[in-house]
Each structure stands twice: as structure tokens, then as C-alpha cells.
Amino acid sequence: MTLTFGDPILIIFRKPDPEAFVEGAEFRPASVKRAGKTRPGPGPLPSFPRTRTRHRFSALPGARETEVNFTSDASTVPGSVKLTESVLTLDDGTAFRGLAVGDCLRADGEVIFITAMSGYQEVLTDPSYHGQIVVFTTAHVGNYGTNPEVNQAPGPQVAGVVFHELWLPGAEHWDSSADLPAWLKAGGVGALTGVDTRALTLHLRTKGARNGHIGPLSEGPEEAGRMARAIPSMNGLDLALRVMTREPYKRLVPRDGEIPGKNIFRVAVLDFGIKASILDKLLGLGLDLTVWPGNAPYEKIAEEKPQGLFLANGPGDPAACGYAVETTKRFLGKIPVFGICLGHQIMGLAAGASTYKLPFGHHGLNHPVLAIDTGRVMITSQNHGFAVDHSTLPRGVRVSMWNLNDKTVEGLEWEDVPAFCAQFHPEATPGPRDSLGLFQKFRQMIKDQNA
């Protein structure tokens, strides 16, 4: 094992217990209850030891790579994890050193931080993070591996990811199909571990989200800084075009295969990077969904005679999505309209309001939101970098929900037409489910319109 001289690096090894682990065996619990169902398993889960040994290394000068090998008798995935000393350089010249995981050593994007302590796979597959390097503030990530059932898109959507401590030896969960390092490698995502994420988060919290470049130390600070400054600003950037569907398609059955009753209301979904769990929630209400590209023309959608319009989440600047703003304007007042995240911002623009970029955005699972009509406070899951300017709202559109952290707009309600929207993610995944009722509100609105 060789490491480059520099800051101490923390690597964690699991101590195997020969009595608790048999090489080649597959352990599963007898049953697991999920979403009201019990899934059988072939056998009991053994009680693995929780003892760990921590090693700090100081290395020889001149070395550039670290190869961490795990023997076949350990209770981890056999094989090796390649680690290369790398650096995250921000466009203001600030640099944070760490270890690049696997063979993908470079990444470029807007650097943001997320305070979620779980749900990392849902975060990394959320198309709303497209073009961003996500910094996890929680200290330890990856111990329960990955499971394709929780993907929000077919694969990772982030430009890169930064950890304080990435669990390297292998996943420790019966439902895991691959450990996180292997999953990131398969998705071509540049990942950095061993970073002082507390210092990085405080810098972003103070200076605001910044563009950044992950690259090997051999690039040098000048070249790395130049590459970071060359990354396009998120202002005016239409990233929805990169992640939306290219052709319309039907969704009839949620991923769990269960539909409560008949699909009786036709809903057109404008896709700007929609999460799979949002479609699941809409289908679970018995809605007949046709998913359209976010830039689909009004005439094509109207030909299908939808009874409701849903505007999805997505990445980038809402002001760059003029095509969707115009389509939304033409549907408002004709059929019920509901928007989430980017869809909320597009509805605000369609009403005549303006949007602006937040200093470091809202990215986490514990944002308190006040519903004005009820006085109820909901804990919400959020992921966005822009907000609607409440001072520019026209008559007939009111703020229905406020963010209690920074007093930004979290919801809008139209007074004369059946339309409303939410800045946060009521479907959660990951996150709390305090606001799931908004989906039922949308369905009831369609039902009332068609009574």
C-alpha cells in the first residue's frame, strides 16, 4: 500500500468473524415488511460483529495511488478498491483534497451540499441533481449498499459526489445488489472520499454554491482552477432538456404493481426530469398518466384531452424553460394544474412572477414549511437552487406555504382557477411524508372539475 505525503487519510477495515460468516453464502432475513407487504426470505440474517479497526496512514513521497485489498476470508466483498489522491477545486481557488474512488477521476459541476443522513441512492439518481457535484454532510455513507428498486432514474444523475467517509469494504444489507463504490464506478460518476466536508460545507454556506472541478493532483492548482472557472453558470442554464423523455409514453402501473381501483382520470405529465416515485404516487391514486417531454407543444398534449396537468421536478434555471411556461399558461384555467419543484417555479413564471437563484439552495430532508391555511408545519424533503419571488406575484395568485428557515416561497395557490404548486417534494423518497396529501388534493381537484 502506498500513499502520497499530505493530510492524514482515514480508512476503515471490518474485522471478519469466521463463525458468523461463511464465504460464498448468501444471507437474507426470514421476512421483511415493506409498504404494508411481507417479503419472504430464504434464511435468518447472522449477527455480524460491529468492531472496527481504524488506521491512519502517512505515506512515502512520490506515490500517487492507493490500492486497498480485501482478502477472500473477510466478511466483505472480495477484491480491491482503487483510490487515487485527488482534489476538488472551486472556482474561487479554494481546494479540498481527498481520494478519488475507482477509475473515474474527474467531474465538473455546481458544488452543493445536502444534509440528508440517509437515502443516498435516491439522491444520486434524482435528475434534479443533474450537472451538480453533491457533497454529503453526514459523516458516513454507503454502508447499506445499493438496490435498483429505489432508483429514481435508470442510473446516477449527479456529475460527481463528495464524501467525508465512504464505506469501501462492501455493503451490509440483505437487500443490496451492489456496494456503493462499484455502483458509482458502473455509472461513471467521479467520487471523492476522505474530504473535510465540514469545512467545505461551511465554505459553501458562507460563499454560496460554486462551480467546482474534481481532478488528480497532477493537474496542478492553476489548471484545476481554470477548469472550474470554465464551467457554465447555473443561471440561464436549461438542464431539463438533458434529462426529460424524448418521446411521450404511458405509465399504467406503479413499481409495486398495485393500483387502488380503475384509472379514471387522464393526466398529462410534463417531464423535466421526473422522479420514479412521483409517478408511483400519482398512479397509486388511480390516475391514467401520459408522460410528455417538457418541451412538448400545447396542441399535441391538448389532442389527448387530459383532465389534469402535472408539472414535474427537474434541474437547472426555470427561466430557461420558456417553452414550458407558455404551455402552462395555455392550460391554466382549463384543467386542474399541479406542479412540484421546477414545475412550481414554472407555474410561478406562467402566472407572471419572476424567479431568482438562492445562495446555496435547499437540499435536505428536514426543511420546515408552514401551511398558511391550516397553520400546520410540515417537515419536507427539498432539492432546488431557485425560488419564486413573492413580491412579483400578480393578483389572483397567493403564497400558500412559507419556508420557516429563510422565509422563501414554498407553495402557491390560484384563487380563481384550479391550480396550485409546491416547491418541496411531497413524495419524499427519501424524506418525511408529512405532505403526501397534496397528491390527493390534486386528484380531488380533478374529480370536482369533472363532477
- Residues assigned a catalytic role: 341, 425, 427
CA atoms within 13 A on the CB side of 95: 20
Grid cell in block for residue 69: 485489498
